[in-house]
Amino acid sequence: MNQQFFLAINSFAGQWPGLDVLGIFLAEKFLYVFGLIILLLWLNKRLRPYVYVAFVSAFVSRVIIVEILKRIFDHPRPYEIITNIHQLLADNEHGMSFPSGHAVIYFSFAFAFWDTEYFWPFLVFATLGSIARVFVGVHFPFDILASLVIAAVCVGGIRSLKLKFFKKRG
């Protein structure tokens, strides 16, 4: 089923040059734009705690949790096991597809702003950037789904710790 979902999304690649350019941008470079948007929100004092949660959660989920899971599962990437895919990114990595590091950062950024006016737009950004990773041929949909769950749990844990920390100090 994971491969069927992958093929359904990836089948749109290579059909329209403009969509390919957008997909590559979202899959590869948009993470930096999204991070810059989050960083700029730090200028608003009300949003600073959310920015801290976003970056701490992204770091913990990507550098610690995802790296451990990638080594445990060492799942192959789509281009390693499926022939005739549209691989739009020249990715030479082998294995360690599950879960997606990019997607966990995207979703960490979004979930950190859960109870703000930025949550829904950021969730759309995260979803587009993550689906683009499937579109360009470097991740399976379940890699993305796992990353969403990891980000949600990690952000929830960091937010809980932050609240406990501030209650003890206050």
Residue 25 is part of which domain span? 2-169
| Residue 93 pLDDT | 76
Say if pTM beats, i.e. exceeds, 0.85: yes
- Rounded average pLDDT per 10-residue block, the chain, 170 residues: 96 96 97 98 96 97 97 94 89 86 98 97 98 97 98 96 62
Where residue 33 sits, what CATH number does that domain have? 1.20.144.10
List, as one string, the DSSP characters of the chain.
Answer: -HHHHHHHHHTTTTT-HHHHHHHHIIIIIHHHHHHHHHHHHTTSGGGHHHHHHHHHHHHIIIIIIIHHHHHHH-PPPHHHH-SS----S-----S--SS-HHHHHHHHHHHHTTTSTTHHHHHHHHHHHHHHHHHTTS--HHHHHHHHHHHHHHHHHHHHHHHHHHHHH-
As for how many domains the chain has, the answer is 1
| Residue 166 pLDDT | 52
